[in-house]
Structure formats: C-alpha cells, structure tokens
C-alpha cells in the first residue's frame, strides 16, 4: 500500500514511518521543512513544498496514495504564536490538500484532530455545560478543520476521515512536545520540586461530531476532581494504523483515546514515583493542593471506535507515566523552561540599541557627508570659476539617487540650514528670510530632491517586485524540476522492481520454474533450496503430513531448519496450526523459540499436505510483504510439490515385489539415486543398510521389517539381489539405533560403504 504522510518531523511522524515500514508499506512524505531535515531511508520519497503550493496536486497525481495522513493538529510546522496568520495558512493549506486529494477520486484522506477542538466548554455554577468565548485561535482552526474535512467528504463523496485524539502524550523529543497535561506536571515537579493539584471539573464528550454540532446530551460532567483519559503515542500509532488499513468504516469521525480513567492525584503520585526513583525519601516531589481551576478539562469517549475496531491499550498510564517522569528528569537540561524565559532588561536594551543604530546609519552618513559639501559651498562662493556651481544641489541629488525620498528630504533640510547659515555671514537673518530668492532656491531644492527620491523609490519597488516574481518563478521551476526528478526516480525504481528486483513476480516465477528440470522424486528435496533463494535466508524446511497428527521432514537446507526433528506433531503447535488451517501465512511475531519465524501450508483440496517452515529471518523483514512473498512462492511451487508428494506415495505403494512392501530394483535404484544426490547437496540425510536375510523369503522378511522400521523408511531390492533399507533423514550416527533393532530382530546388517564415507 502506498501511504502519503503530510507533516513535519517529530516523534509522531517518525513512529508512524517506523510502523508503516515494518508492515511493508511504501511511504511518501510531504513536508514544508528544508532539505537539511533528515528523513531515513525507510521513506521511499520526500517532497518538500508548502502545503498551499499549486504543485501539491502534481504530488498527489505522482504518488497516487491509497491512504493520505495529514498530521493536522500535531504538525509542528504551524507555529501558533503568530495567531491569525497561522490560522489563515492552516485553513488554506488544508483546503489545498483536500482539493488535490479529491482530484484523484481514489484513496482515503485522514485528518488528525485533538481534544483542543473542544476548548471553550465549561461547567457553570448551576452544573450546566455552557460554551464560552475563551477559545484560542489554534482551537478554532482545528475545529474548523474537522468541519471542512467532513463537509468536503460529503460534497465529493470521498473517503475523508477525521480522527480526534485525546490527551496524546509520549517520550518528548524537544520542548515543543511538552504541551500535554502529563508533561506539564512532570515539568512542575522538576522545576518547582512540587506538584500542585487544581480541583475543578471535567467534561466527557461521548459523540464524535464537529464542535459546532455538539448538544448537551453529547456531554456529561465527571464528578470529583479532574480526571483524564490519556493516550500514549505508541497506542495512538497502533490505533491509527488499524483504522488506516480497514476496508470499510461506519462513521466519518472517530474519537481515539486511552481506556484508563486516571485522576489528577493519581497522575501526580505516579509522576512523583518516577521522579523519585531509588531515592524516594530524598527527592520525591511534594503533592500540594492548589486553588480551584476555573478551566474545565475535556475528555473524549472512544467507545464508538473501540466497538468497531476493538482497540487495545498496551501502555496504560500506570506503566507509562513513571517512565516519562524518569526520562524528563534524566534529560532536564534539554527540557528546561529557561529556554522559554522572558527577555531580560539588558538583552532588550542591547537588541533595541542595535535596531536604532541600524536605522540611524543612513542619517549619520548624511550628516558626515554634509560637512565637506558645506565647506565646498563656502569656498566656491568667492571663487570666480565655481561661484555658479551649487554644491548643495549636488549633495541633495546624491542622497536622493542613492537612498531615496526620505534621505532626500533630510539632506534638503540640512542644505537649507547650511545655506541660511552661510548667508548670515554678510546679512542679518531677517534680511535672508525676506529675500524671495531664498524661497525660490529652497523650492527648487525640495522639488528636485523629492522628484528624484520618488523616482528612486519607485524604481526600487519595481526592481523588488521583479525580483520577487523572478524568485517565485524560479521556485516554481525548481519545484517542477524536483517533481520531474522525483517522478523519474520513482519510475526507475519501479522499473528495477519489475525487471531486476529479487522479490518481483517475474523473478520469483523464474526461480520456482527451475523445479521443472528435476525428476518427480527430486522436486521435494530441491524445493527447499528454491524457497530459500526467494526468501533470502539459509534455513528452510519442508514437511509432508504423514497423517492427521504428524508431519515428516522431507527436505531442509541447514541444521537450524532441522531443529524440530524428523517428525513434528504439528497439531500440538497450536499457534501455527490455527493460522495455517485458515490458509494464511503464519508469522512468529512473539519470536517463540520452538516455532519457525514463518510458515505456510500447501493444501490438496481441503487437506493440509505440505508445510513449509522458514527460519533465520531478521525481525525487520518479518513483514506483511515478506509473508506475501512466501505465499506467492508456495502457490507457484504448489503443483510441483503436490505432484512430487503423490509420486513418492505411488512409488512406495505400486512398485512392490508381489504382495510385499519391498520395492522393485529399478524403482528402488531411482529412489536411492534421488536421495543420494539431495544428500550431497545438503538437502537431506539418508543411510543405506545392507541386510543378510539368511535365505528367508521376501514375505517373511517383509513381515519382520514392518515391525522394526519407521513409516518413512524404504525397503528395496538392489540389482545384485540384496535386500537394502533406506533410512530417510538419518545419518550414520542415527542409523545405529535402527541397526540395533534390526539385529535384535534377527537380521545381520551393515552400513553400505558409500554411505559411511
């Protein structure tokens, strides 16, 4: 299954990637983070675009995901400190993602919400539940996201699903993941050395409907102190994955939370125990009563999701909270709240000083350059060649051209002041002010400076606009190049999978078809090697069911594969048998030592006839994908294996001498040759024992041997007339037990020299 995950890096994203990879799905990631962000090799392809980018539709068309998961309320890419701007970006991003998804007309879109969407409800003094306007912009955006997804799903008839997660917590990666109630209590215990309990009320929301559609019947008040349904992140991953992979679901919105209701005091005691560790008497944080908290806690009721999907809580608070507290205390330096402290007065003074200096630089430059121009103007006044040259006009034009209108005005004011000051050398200030030529010169200077400065600012704005447009088009071109490059890489990878990959259908068929070159009596031996090549492991065993209870070892590729012995009571292996009886592949997820890591059965009609057991697979490869490979391999080898198994039975039953169970010389020689060749390649063991019958008839020999040999052993005549026993899956050491029984039964016997060598 192809899955597209949309969101930034974090614990939730990493654990989701790990889970999907383990189950054998192909993962694509869409994120707004830069290329410096690390995504491991478990991700098939990573797209780095803004969620509201027009090229998102091309990403969806390229990936064609069966499931799209948008982290939504848990996406750290959205910084809610900026308020309204983030809300606008969040809404536009979600709408763009939904429109791009709807264009595919296939797959499932899952939006992750949180209990924050229900912020704004409280219990009044009379016990009634009422809505308030004390709702953050994040809560409003998340709630509107729920409504948008549900309405869009109805409008497009698409499979759009909303999952509202309640009180999600887990081992934090950074300080941004400390915004849950459990982590906040841990931080209070670590920073203050005490935990304050805040009595208050809790509301339990029973119906999974948008916030604006909730009624009084959908909520109930939990009496007593505040209590919580905590959802551990690992459990949340399992719940989300289960809902991602179901074929059908009855509702468009589900509430997901833990199953254990825990009070605030119980949480504090568990966290206190975790913080204390071994030094409980010395470092245990104190638990104190605080003031009544007017804020109402909201809990979610996940009964609908639990009834439909049978959710199982693996990490209850009693187990997870002490671990969380111990981890936060151990890494106190990383999560210290000092990183979030307010700016000190000195830091604020330094920052503002730098900003003022940066803004004052053009004015200081203007003042400094005014001095030489003032001096030049004074010298040029009495000079015959330069008296008609206006240095102040050059000075204003210079700053208008370089810095624009603002500095042109400032330089004009300085030039006017310098001009008036120079005129007062010879005249009084009153005469200067009454001279109309002074005002003409001032108007000329101001008009010229303002016009040139305005043109400079206009050109600068045009240049910046062109630069922004070029940058935008360059980014669009880069995005298109990235998408094209990604599509080329995906095409090449898929081509390699179809042509060269070891797990491709063509490659598997090529390997399994090699069984056709062997004789029927050899197929069962070489089939184990074929399965081993397909599964990329060295330990494969094939058992043939002797009756309804036992299965006998036919072929194996290693001592590890033979660890269960030559005969297996397969019905007593209940975990494996129950799965195989349903015609499914058994996967040993619990790593039970007495069971193979994978097994599959081949049926003749409704009867289990052959069991293939696989050992030596790494934990990472015990996935749904590998189980499918084993199933496909079994189906492709089924006809050959069943035909060979029936041939062996026919060989035993229809090529006897007379009415005995002694095989004819030709058939027996063919069987021995197949066993010897398989033994030389390590696929089986066999031992040949020559018997001295002392002239007894075949009927008598057959009657006596029937009580001394196993059902898996063969008796036949050699070409020189000797009676010989073939002990299947037995080496020379194992053969000593059989020889002792034969000697006790009145036979003289010895191991054939070829076998002994």
Average pLDDT over residues 633-660: 69
- Backbone region of residue 727 per phi and psi (left: phi > 0; alpha: psi in -120 to 50; beta: other values): beta
CA distance 612 to 542: 5
| Per-residue model confidence (pLDDT) at position 129 | 67
CA distance 335 to 106: 43
pLDDT in tens, 4-17: 999 988 888 888 99
Cβ neighbors of 592 (< 8 A, separation 6 or more) are: 575
Kindly tell me if the per-residue pLDDT of 724 is higher than 80: yes
Identify the weakest region by mean pLDDT among 100-104, 172-176, 513-517: 513-517
Q: Which residue has the higher pLDDT, 436 or 364?
A: 364
SS3 state of residue 146: helix
The Cα-based distances of 38 to 17, 102, 482, 640 in angstroms read 13, 30, 17, 48
8 A C-beta contact, residue 665 and residue 716? yes
Backbone angles phi, psi at 636, to 5 degrees: -70, -30
pLDDT in tens, 431-465: 777 777 777 878 888 888 888 888 888 888 888 88
| Per-residue model confidence (pLDDT) at position 280 | 44
pLDDT in tens, 306-350: 888 888 888 888 888 888 888 888 877 666 554 444 455 776 788
- Range ranked top by mean pLDDT from 165-169, 345-349, 639-643, 690-694: 165-169
- Residue whose structure tokens are 């070029």: 470
SS3 state of residue 724: strand
Residue 219, CA atoms < 13 Å, CB-side half-sphere: 23
The whole-angstrom distance between residue 426's C-alpha and the CA centroid of its chain comes to 85
CA distance 226 to 262: 9
CA distance 572 to 549: 8
Q: Quickly list DSSP for 80-140.
A: GGGTHHHHHHHHHHHHHHHHHHHHHT-SEEEEEEEGGGGTTEEE-TTS-EEE-S---HHHH
| Per-residue model confidence (pLDDT) at position 282 | 45
| Per-residue model confidence (pLDDT) at position 340 | 42
Buried b (16+ CB within 10 A) or exposed e, 724-748: bbbbbbbeeeebeebbeebeeeebe
Kindly tell me if the per-residue pLDDT of 67 is higher than 90: yes
Specify the length of the chain in residues. Answer: 757
CA distance 638 to 602: 6
β-pairing verdict for 26-31 and 45-48 = parallel
CA distance 150 to 110: 11
Cβ neighbors of 156 (< 8 A, separation 6 or more) are: 102
Percent of the chain with pLDDT over 70: 83
Q: Tell me the sheet residues that pair with 70.
A: 6, 111
pLDDT in tens, 171-211: 887 777 777 888 888 887 777 777 777 777 778 888 778 77
Average pLDDT over residues 263-290: 71
The Cα-based distances of 651 to 566, 647, 663 in angstroms read 21, 6, 8
Cα-based angle 385, 388, 392 (whole degrees, multiple of 5): 115
Q: Which residue has the higher pLDDT, 734 or 269?
A: 269
Token digits of residue 39: 């995504």
| Per-residue model confidence (pLDDT) at position 514 | 60
Identify the weakest region by mean pLDDT among 181-185, 511-515, 605-609, 636-640: 511-515
CATH numbers and ranges of domains, the chain: 346-469 (no CATH), 516-652 (3.30.450.40), 655-756 (3.30.70.270)
Percent of the chain with pLDDT over 90: 6
CA distance 745 to 737: 13
Number of CB atoms found within 10 A of residue 344's CB:
9
pLDDT in tens, 29-38: 998 887 655 5
Does pTM top 0.75 for this prediction? no
Kindly tell me if the per-residue pLDDT of 384 is higher than 80: no
CA distance 435 to 438: 6
The long-range contacts involving 86-93, CB below 8 angstroms and separated by at least 24 positions, are 86/137, 86/138, 86/141, 87/137, 87/138, 87/140, 87/141, 89/52, 90/141, 90/145, 91/141, 91/144, 91/145, 91/148, 92/52, 93/50, 93/51, 93/52
- Residue whose structure tokens are 């090799």: 41
Average pLDDT over residues 735-757: 74
């Amino acid at each position: 299954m192809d899955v597209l995950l949309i969101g930034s890096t974090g614990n939730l994203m990493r654990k989701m990637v790990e889970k999907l990879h383990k189950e054998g799905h192909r993962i694509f990631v869409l994120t707004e983070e830069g290329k410096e962000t690390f995504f491991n090799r478990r991700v098939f392809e990573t797209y780095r675009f803004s969620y509201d980018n027009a090229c998102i539709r091309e990403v969806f068309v390229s990936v064609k995901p069966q499931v799209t998961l948008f982290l939504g309320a848990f996406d750290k890419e959205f910084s809610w400190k900026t308020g309204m701007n983030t809300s606008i970006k969040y809404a536009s991003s979600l709408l763009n993602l939904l429109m791009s998804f709807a264009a595919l007309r296939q797959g499932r879109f899952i939006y992750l919400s949180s209990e924050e969407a229900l912020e704004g409800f409280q219990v009044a003094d009379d016990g009634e539940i009422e809505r308030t306007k004390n709702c953050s912009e994040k809560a409003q955006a998340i709630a509107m996201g729920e409504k948008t997804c549900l309405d869009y799903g109805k409008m497009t008839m698409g499979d759009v699903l909303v999952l509202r997660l309640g009180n999600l917590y887990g081992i934090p990666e950074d300080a941004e993941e400390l915004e849950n109630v459990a982590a906040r209590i841990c931080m209070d215990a670590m920073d203050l050395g005490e935990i304050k309990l805040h009595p208050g009320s809790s509301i339990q929301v029973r119906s999974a409907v948008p916030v604006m559609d909730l009624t009084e019947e959908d909520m109930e008040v939990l009496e007593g102190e505040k209590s919580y349904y905590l959802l551990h992140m690992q459990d949340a991953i399992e719940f989300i994955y289960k809902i991602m992979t179901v074929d059908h679901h009855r509702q468009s919105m589900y509430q997901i939370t833990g199953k254990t209701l825990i009070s605030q005091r119980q949480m504090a005691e568990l966290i206190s125990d975790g913080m204390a560790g071994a030094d409980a008497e010395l470092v245990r944080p104190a638990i104190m009563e605080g003031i009544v908290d007017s804020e109402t806690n909201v809990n979610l009721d996940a009964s609908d999701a639990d009834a439909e999907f049978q959710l199982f809580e693996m990490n209850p608070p009693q187990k997870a909270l002490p671990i969380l507290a111990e981890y936060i205390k151990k890494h106190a330096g990383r999560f210290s709240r000092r990183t979030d402290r307010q700016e000190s007065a000195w830091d604020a003074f330094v920052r503002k000083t730098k900003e003022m200096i940066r803004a004052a630089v053009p004015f200081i430059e203007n003042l400094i350059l005014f001095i030489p121009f003032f001096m030049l103007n004074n010298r040029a006044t009495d000079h015959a060649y330069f008296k008609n040259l206006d240095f102040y006009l050059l000075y204003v034009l210079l700053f208008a051209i370089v810095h624009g209108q603002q500095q042109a005005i400032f330089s004009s004011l300085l030039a006017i002041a310098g001009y008036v000051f120079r005129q007062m050398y010879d005249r009084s200030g009153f005469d200067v002010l009454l001279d109309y030529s002074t005002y003409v010169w001032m108007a000329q200077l101001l008009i010229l400076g303002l016009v040139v400065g305005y043109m400079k600012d206009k050109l600068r704005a045009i240049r910046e606009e062109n630069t922004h447009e070029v940058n935008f088009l360059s980014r669009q071109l880069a995005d298109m190049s990235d998408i094209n490059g990604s599509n080329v890489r995906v095409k090449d990878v898929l081509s390699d999978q179809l042509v060269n990959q070891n797990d491709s259908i063509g490659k598997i068929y090529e390997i399994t078809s090699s069984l056709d070159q062997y004789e029927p009596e050899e197929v069962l031996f070489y089939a184990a090697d074929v399965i081993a090549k397909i599964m990329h492991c060295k330990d494969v065993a094939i058992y043939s069911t002797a009756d309804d209870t036992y299965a006998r070892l036919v072929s194996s590729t290693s001592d590890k594969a033979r660890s269960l012995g030559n005969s297996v009571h397969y019905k007593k292996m209940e975990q494996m048998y129950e799965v195989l009886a349903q015609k499914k592949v058994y996967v040993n997820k619990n790593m039970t030592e007495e069971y193979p890591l994978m097994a599959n059965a081949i049926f003749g009609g409704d009867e289990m006839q052959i069991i293939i057991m696989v050992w030596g697979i790494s934990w990472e490869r015990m996935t749904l994908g590998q189980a499918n490979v084993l199933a496909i391999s079994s189906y492709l080898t089924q006809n050959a294996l069943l035909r060979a198994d029936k041939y062996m039975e026919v060989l035993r039953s229809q090529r006897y001498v007379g009415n005995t169970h002694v095989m004819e010389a030709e058939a027996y020689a063919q069987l021995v040759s197949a066993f010897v060749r398989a033994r030389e390649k390590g696929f089986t063991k066999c031992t040949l024992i020559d018997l001295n019958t002392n002239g007894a008839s075949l009927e008598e020999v057959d009657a006596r041997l029937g009580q001394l040999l196993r059902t898996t052993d063969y008796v036949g005549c050699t070409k020189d007339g000797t009676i010989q026993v073939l002990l299947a899956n037995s080496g020379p050491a194992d053969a000593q037990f059989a020889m002792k029984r034969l000697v006790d039964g009145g036979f003289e016997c010895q191991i054939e020299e070829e076998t002994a060598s």
